[in-house]
Structure 1
Amino acid sequence: MEARLDVASEMVRLADTMGSRELALRGHAVRARDFLEMADIAATDAEIEWHARLAEEVRDPFDLWLSATCRAMRALLGGRFDEGERLAHAAMTMARRVPGRRAAAENATMCFTAQMYLLRRERGRLEGFVQAIRRLVEHHPEVPAWRAVLAHISCLLGGNGEARGEFDQLDTNDFAGLPRDAVWLGAMSVLSELCVLFGDIPHAAILYQLLLPYAGRNCVAGLSLCMGSAARYLGLLAATLTRWDAATEHFEAALTMNGRMGPPAWVAHTQYDYASALMARGGPGDCERALALVTAARLRRRGPVAKAGWWLVGGAGSPVPLPPLPCTSRPSATTGTSSLRASVARSRSSRATVGRRGRSSGT
């Protein structure tokens, strides 16, 4: 990462020396992506702003599209879903103005679809979206991340058989077939959630080892998507492996990292996932801590994210409404445990409803 950032910084320096705004645009775009992965949001925003200014000066359609895509990504990361959706559509409109660049148009379609995937899963509206992902799987076999997304959506909508088949196609030599490109970490986040959904312990162990060196990074897909701290996914995988101490460490790190960046959705996801892991462990004080985390996650829904119709991805990754607060008074450990378990049961019932709805719609 440091070497890549150094190269991008050198590009910007040379661009300044040469007076090349085109080279500067490339350098600032790469720096923005690297800072986003490093979870340095202030630096990311500064690079996006530099890129936007230069794009307005140069007026190249490709860079105007990229600038709009970056703004959509930041709105989505900040939980401003209505704004993010509007900006994503605006970016797609700009992409159609890029003359004679078929590859650019295809890339724009993939970026737009990735942002719509995030938007729909956060709103609990994945029904009817499967065909769009299937087309990308067919047309872009060189991007196996789309197969991971297809498997994830299929599983969330109740198509476990199809999801498992797609997942198994990606499991070639312990996922070595996944290219280590700009979307690798984003693909790993989706595969991790999918593995947890399956309760697949052997693959959870493999994914955990692959993702562990990136614990301090964000899971990103270029500049189109940020799925929050990799530590959250490590926490989910560690909990699946019943490595409770490691899971606790990862979830705490994810809360800190996501909290520092400020994305309300990923903070609340982490809080609920952490609570689920604590309830599964069932140690002294775990129930009280889980109740506090669920309460905090519920409070986050009272802001702009809740108004956008946001749904929480539960501990298993399924889109469900955040469960009712188990109790309003401070419970004993026994009472709290039974209450929160009842909430989890209600969440599972909601997931089953989502799955049945997906199957009945033909997706």
Structure 2
Amino acid sequence: MDDTTRLLETVGQMAGGIAHDFNDLLAAILGHVEMLSGDLAPGDPRAADVNGIRHAAERATTLTQQLLAISRQQVLQPTVLNLSDVVDRARRLVQRVIGDQIELITCTPRDLRPVKADADQVEQILLNLALNARDAMPRGGRLTLQTRNVDIEDAAAQRQGNPPGAYVQLTVADTGIGIDPAIRKHLFEPFFTTKEPGRGTGLGLATVYGIVKQSGGHIAVESERGRGSRFDVYLPVTLEAPAVAEPPERRSRAERASETVLLVEDDVAVRSLIGDVLRRRGYRLLVAEDGVQALKLADEHASPIHLLITDVAGSAGPDASVADAVRARRPETRVLYLHKPFTPDALARKVRAALASHIW
């Protein structure tokens, strides 16, 4: 285990639990802000205050997501994807981030082998590395985003400390000032930054490292003072076929839901928020504080339970998750793992999508 990995695991043990607790609080804050905002009439002077609360909570959410990323405790949603497609979709956003004085070049071949990763997190990798490159080119320069297929042989893998195999390489290269060798060994350490106080959290590259490692990949850096820097992200090729998207369920906005949802949530504020959001949309709710209550409700409820909403960390016993235990009793029940924080509209969409899915 290298020093960076060891440090990330140490920080992760502290930061992960803190971030999960803050996500519960932020879920309640953001959810109630959205509901309050929806109740305000156009032109209401209180809207500015509500937007201020929302902006502060969103900034706090970004920080908690970074903490979860560096500790590799994010809830990823990996799918089979083509990294060239991800780069092409992110190009416009990357250009906005780096500004007009930096030339953006992309090289994204179509014959790329598939990888299994969270597309949103790959975009986060691109944005964080692009921000790092922008800061290294204060007078302008060139940023290159490139993807290609690579095969790492045994000898090369041993030198890099990574397993051999087939990978897709995502390269982010700049023509900036380069990185001093003394700094390079600290690049991925949480909270390490060379910026002035107040200008950076030191979490950007640590976040990249955490996402890459949690995705089963690795990252390498080449840099020379005055000659720019190059970050190479390697994600393993997958043999899985891309999932076939189910057609979206058509439902009128005026049509109210009628399904029964079993909610398992230990945080009272989040539990109350989810209950308010779903009841307003017509769902019938069974509410449990923990796995034990959830199983009791599942056993006693006479009618179908269409959906279970639970935190990934929920447990009904030492060896069974809430989802596994409920599904053992009710195989027809779909499951939605709650990823916090969320907005009421996003929650409603996820619930609808889960109920419309044909995958149990």
Q: Same fold (TM over 0.5)?
A: no
The structure where strand makes up a greater share of residues is 2
What is the TM-score normalised by the length of structure 2?
A: 0.26
What is the TM-score normalised by the length of structure 1?
A: 0.26
Q: Highest CA radius of gyration, 1 or 2?
A: 2
The structure where helix makes up a greater share of residues is 1
